[in-house]
Amino acid sequence: MQVQKMEIKFESTSTRVYTGDAWKLLGELLPEKDVVIVTDINVGELYGHYFPDYPVITIGTGEAVKEPETVETIIKHLLTIGTDRSSFLLGIGGGIVCDISGFVASIFMRGIEFGFVSTTLLSQVDASIGGKNGVNVNGIKNIIGCINQPSFVICDIVLLRTLPDEEYISGLAEVVKHALIKDYELFELIERNIKLILARNEDLLNELILRSIKIKATIVEKDEKESGERRLLNFGHTLGHAIESTTGLSHGISIAAGMMVAAEISFDEKLMDREESDRIRNTLQQLGLLKEMNTSWQDIKDIILADKKRKGNTINFILLQGIGNAVQREYPLDEIMKKLKHKIG
């Protein structure tokens, strides 16, 4: 599959994103300096024999490792092998590896260069793009973090062939999110091709990945630090992150639940009609993204109150003014809490 290059430009830097058969470019993209690789156990077992010949730091998998303790462990390894400010950190893995390695690179010796080889759908369309790096504390997602851009991101579609079904489906939630907030035609494309998407048709999947990255790139170029339009990317995430933290459900399943509740609130607010909210529900259901949840409102409430989007007694919440057109609303906390509690039951 042909390699396609995209450059995301920011005020003081840029990120080159490569899709298609892009793994083969890794040797050319790495700088002529000391490189250290961060990966996880699963990726190391599947692809470690393809890694370039540099020191490798391997971490565990799952949200439990996305904690400050893992950051400290990696930094100790870096010091042991003599990494310095001229070195380059390469994260090879999914969203957790990208988040952690990007965060470590951003704080180690006040910052070193870094890049990603993104190995999951969720990471290729979301976590590796845009420069958000961070870790969790007490179940609150990404509460410690920074915005710092990688030098490059490789999104090779071949790496998705070994992705477990659950992780693949989880990644689809972010593709749907991008369609819902900015691209009605992309939503229609998803809606018409559910079977091909679930079968991982690579031509179609490559198009979905490219269009998702372009949507996110267009937004983050305008608003790198999330002071305005970038907040639209949080559609479904205020409630979704709370569900993910309290239930242990995958990111995609949790975000899908958050998006569906936000769509229902959009209908209640007369921003969209019932046909559109039904289309969203039907698409999420057919993709396997809507599941039963076992959690208490009190647990969810506590996580939302700690959400980064909260400002005093208000919170920024994203709704849909029809499919493909997201809008921001600033709600008093007590008002949005009543709406969410009513929808969750």
Residue whose tokens read 């870094």:
114
Residues 6 or more apart from 269 whose CB is under 8 A from it? 319, 329
Q: How far is CA 220 from CA 5, 175, 242, in A?
A: 17, 16, 24
For residue range 136-155, list pLDDT tens digits in order: 998 888 999 999 999 999 99
Q: How confident is the model at residue 306 (pLDDT cuts 50, 70, 90)?
A: confident
DSSP 295-321: --HHHHHHHHHT-TTEETTEEEEEEES
Q: Give the predicted TM-score (pTM) of the model.
A: 0.94
Asked whether the beta carbons of 290 and 257 are under 8 A apart, the reply is: yes
For 120, phi and psi rounded to 5 degrees?
-125, 160
Residues 201 and 239 in one domain: yes
Residues 45 and 180 in one domain: no
Residue 109 confidence (pLDDT) above 90: yes
What pLDDT shows up at residue 344? 79
CATH of the domain at 233: 1.20.1090.10
Q: How many domains does the chain have?
A: 2
Residues 126 and 262 in one domain: no
What pLDDT shows up at residue 281? 98
Residue 272 confidence (pLDDT) above 70: yes
Residues 203 and 270 in one domain: yes
Residues 15 and 99 in one domain: yes
Q: How far is CA 340 from CA 45, 118, 243, 248, in A?
A: 42, 34, 12, 20
Q: How far apart are CA 10 and CA 291, in angstroms?
A: 38
Residues 175 and 154 in one domain: no
Residue 297 confidence (pLDDT) above 90: no
CA angle centred on 340, ends 334 and 345, rounded to 5° = 120
The percentage of the chain sitting over the pLDDT mark of 70, rounded to a whole number, equals 99
Residues 101 and 152 in one domain: yes
Residues 215 and 338 in one domain: yes
Residues 197 and 333 in one domain: yes
Q: How far apart are CA 193 and CA 201, in angstroms?
A: 10
Residue 167 confidence (pLDDT) above 90: yes
Residues 208 and 290 in one domain: yes
Residue whose tokens read 């593709």:
175
What pLDDT shows up at residue 310? 75
Q: Which domain holds residue 34?
A: 4-162
Mean pLDDT of the chain, nearest integer = 94
For residue range 18-31, list pLDDT tens digits in order: 999 899 999 999 99
Last residue of a domain, one of 114, 139, 162: 162
Residue type, 278: D
Q: How confident is the model at residue 299 (pLDDT cuts 50, 70, 90)?
A: confident
CATH of the domain at 76: 3.40.50.1970
Residues 335 and 228 in one domain: yes
Q: How far apart are CA 136 and CA 121, in angstroms?
A: 21
What pLDDT shows up at residue 345? 64
